[in-house]
Amino acid sequence: MTTKPSAQAARAEYARRINRVLNYIDAHIDQPLDGAHLADIANFSRFHFHRIFAAWMGETLGSYAQRRRLEKAALRLACGSHETVLETALATGFQSGEAFARAFKLKFGCTPSAWRDSTPQRLKAQAAAIGQPTGGQESNPDQVFGNLHQEGEGVFGESGGSYRPMDEIAMEVRIIDLPKARVAYQRLIGPYGPAIGEFWRAAIAPWMHSNGLGDQTCYGIGYDDPSITPVDKCRYDACVEVPAHFVAGGQVDTQVLPGGRYAVAAFKGKTEGLANAWTWLTREWMPSSGLQCDDRPCFERFSAATAFDVRTGEFSCDICIPVRAL
């Protein structure tokens, strides 16, 4: 006799399957996306998959894929790439420049070329807004972590902080090759900010310790730009490096973070300063580096055992940005 899974276990399994589909879509955004194949990836009925996806994600599969294509295109245009608008369109799954331009203007209210040209002004406005009160702090994409052994207030640095001018920030940036990393992860979908710290503290830290992973390398991956993606759709993965024999279960799944060339900057300071560091790297350092971002995810990498200094309240991590030549 089989045992019926609990409602919580069933939801965890649904989350794992849907996340595999979301990961696949991002990895194949330049290709046609077949619903039947995506249903097979999720191991759901082909007949019911579209209904399941829409109920779970709050948008249809077609709407989700179109949104992700446009968001990825907006990021490519903003990263200072020398590719043409047509090349951006084809790289994000559009069949023609005309179709891309129409869809882009409908979503963002301007042409792709105008979006790219206005990037410096948009980044400046975003930087100036850091630390301004927004209620839920939805404009602050801090990715935070604290001492797993620490209890109490202030561990995750949840205040928004205040903006510092970019010329006050100086970070040493190394261009290095990072190996692939097999990680176990749990995904949070919703606004960045304090919710991420609570996610690590309430869900990830206890899970790590119960599985003997308290000393492993961790990765925080924010996939979306809140100025482009609706804040309630932003995706964040809390990742922990695991050995090859590790078997995932519950809400936890595994994935492989791609290796390759990254720009890596060591951050040390209050967690509210992370947003300033990210802004400096993307607004100041990247345009003068002779490099550009590619489509691999950016992340923060840190040691769970040593990331947080209890004496100083400082957080240490490597900010890692995937790069390629212009």
pLDDT score at 140:
34
Report, in angstroms and rounded to the nearest whole number, the Rg of the chain calculated over CA atoms.
Answer: 20
Residues 214, 318 share a domain:
yes
Question: Do 253 and 149 share a structural domain?
Answer: yes
My answer on whether 89 and 235 are in the same domain is: no
239: left (phi over 0), alpha (psi -120 to 50) or beta: beta
Return phi, psi of residue 6, to 5°.
Answer: -70, 165
Per residue in 111-148, pLDDT tens?
Answer: 999 999 998 787 777 656 544 443 333 333 333 344 33
- 77 domain-assigned: yes
pLDDT at 138: 37
Angstrom CA distances, 279 to 27, 30, 264, 320, stand at 25, 28, 14, 13
Domain end (from 116, 149, 167) = 116
Domain around 306: 124-325
- Rounded to an integer, the average pLDDT of 5-27 is 89
The residue that leads in pLDDT, 271 or 17, is 17
35 shares a domain with 11: yes
Instruction: Give a yes or no: residue 279 inside a domain.
Output: yes
Segment among 32-46, 162-176, 250-264, 266-280 with least mean pLDDT: 162-176
Q: What is the pLDDT of residues 274-309, one digit of tens each?
A: 888 888 888 788 878 888 888 888 999 999 888 888
Distance linking the first and last C-alpha atoms of the chain: 60
Residue 85 located in a structural domain: yes
Q: Are both 223 and 292 inside the same structural domain?
A: yes
Task: Give the phi and the psi of residue 278 in degrees, each rounded to 5.
Answer: -60, -45
Q: Does residue 86 fall inside a structural domain? A: yes
**pLDDT given at position 100:** 97
User: 61, 87, 116: which is the final residue of a domain?
Assistant: 116
Residues 222 and 318 in one domain: yes
Question: pLDDT tens digits, residue range 213-243?
Answer: 988 999 999 999 888 999 999 999 999 999 9
Secondary structure of residue 125 in the 3-state scheme:
helix
| End residue of a domain, out of 64, 87, 116 | 116
Q: What is the pLDDT of residue 80?
A: 65
Judged against a pLDDT cut of 80, whether residue 208 lies above it is answered with: yes
Our count of domains for the chain comes to 2
